[in-house]
Structure 1
Amino acid sequence: MNKIRKGDQVIVTTGRDKGKRGTVAERVDEQLLLVEGINVVKKHVKPNPLKGTTGGVIDKTMPIQQSNVALFNPATGKADRVGIKILADGKKVRVFKSSGEEVKA
C-alpha cells in the first residue's frame, strides 16, 4: 500500500523547491511522483511538423522522489508522516503519525 497517492496534497521537504506545496498528479513508478508546480524545468524541444508542434523552450514538470515529499496535514497546517492501520473489519487505512487521524483521500 502506497503511503502517498494520486490527488494527495504534499509538501517538499528537501531540494530547491523546499517548503512548496502541490498536488500529486501521478505516480511514475514505485519511487517517483509528478507533483503539479514542483520541480519545473526548462526543456528545449525541436519542431515536429508531422505532429504539428512548434519548437522552442517549454516548462516541463519532472518527477520527484517520494522520499523528498511529505503528506500535508490540514489540521496542523504542516507536513506529517503517514502510517498504515488495520481496522477491525480488516480494512487498511492511512493515518497521520502525529495525531492518529485517518487521511482523507
Structure 2
Amino acid sequence: MAMAVQSPLHIDSLSNGFLGMGLNTGRPTSQASPKVNTSIRMAIKRWERKEVKENSLPVVKKLHVKIGDTVKVIAGHDKGKISTVTQLYTHNSKIMLKDVNLKTKHVKGKAEGETGQIVQVEAPIHSSNVMLYSKTAKVASRVGHKTLEDGSRVRYLLKTGEVIDSAEEWKKVHKKEEKKE
C-alpha cells in the first residue's frame, strides 16, 4: 500500500534561506509517522535573479561605451577622473579604464633569491559608474543614438550634440592599437 505524500514548494517572501528549515525529500522520514508534510520556504530576491538564455548563460546587455571612448568617472573613490576605455567585459557590464581604480598587488619573486614586488594594477569598474565625456566642451553627458543622412547609425552626446562614432575617430583608435602591437 503506497501513500501519497503532498510536498508543495512554497516561495515565501518572509523567509530568507534554508537555515532551520526542513528538507522535503518526498519520502516519509520515519516509520511511526508516514505522512510528513515539510516544505522548503525560500525567497529569491529580485536583484539575485538574472535573466538567462536556454543554455544557462546570462543575457548580455549592450554597453553605452566602446573601446577608445573618453569617459568621466561619476561614482566611487576615483570620482571626477577622466580616462579612456581600454577593455570591455560584457558578461558582467564592467569596463577597464586607463590609470583608474588602481589596486595594490603583492607579487612573489619567481626565481630563487628574487625578491617580491608591490605593483599597482588597474581593476575593472562597473559601466554605470562612468559617463561619456566631451573633450571640446569639457562636459559629461549621456549617450543618444541617431541615424545620419547616409543611413549610418551613430552615437552622440545629448548635451552637446557631438557625434562620437565618426569614421575618423574609429580609424585613429585602431591605428594606435596596431602601432602598440
Which bracket does the TM-score occupy, shorter chain normalised? 0.7 to 0.9
Match of 1:81 in 2: 142
SS at match of 1:100: coil
RMSD between aligned residues: 2.1
2:62 aligned with 1:32: no
Deviation (angstroms), 1:46: 2.1
Match of 2:107 in 1: 45
Match of 1:70 in 2: 131
Deviation (angstroms), 1:70: 0.6
Rounded to whole Å, the distance in 1 between the matches of 2:115 and 2:152 is 50
Q: 57-66 or 88-97, which moves further after superposition?
A: 88-97
- Structure 2 letter corresponding to 1:12: V
Query: 5+ unaligned residues in a row in structure 1: which ranges?
Result: none
With the length of structure 1 as denominator, give the TM-score of the two structures. Answer: 0.84
1:40-86: per-residue Cα shift (whole Å, max 9, x none)?
Answer: 0101122223xxx8632110000011100011112320111101112
Aligned residue pairs total 103
- Larger RCO of the pair (alpha carbons < 8 Å, separation 6+): 1
Whether the 8 Å contact between 2:67 and 2:87 is mirrored in structure 1 is yes
More strand by share: 1
Deviation (angstroms), 1:92: 1.1
Q: 67-76 or 87-96, which moves further after superposition?
A: 87-96
- Structure 2 letter corresponding to 1:14: A
Query: 5+ unaligned residues in a row in structure 2: which ranges?
Result: 1-61, 170-181
SS at match of 1:6: coil
Aligned pair in 2 of structure 1 residues 91, 42: CA closer, same or farther (>3 Å)?
same
Which of 122, 125, 138 pairs up with 1:61? 122
- Structure 1 letter corresponding to 2:83: G
Match of 1:96 in 2: 157
Whether the 8 Å contact between 1:3 and 1:83 is mirrored in structure 2 is no
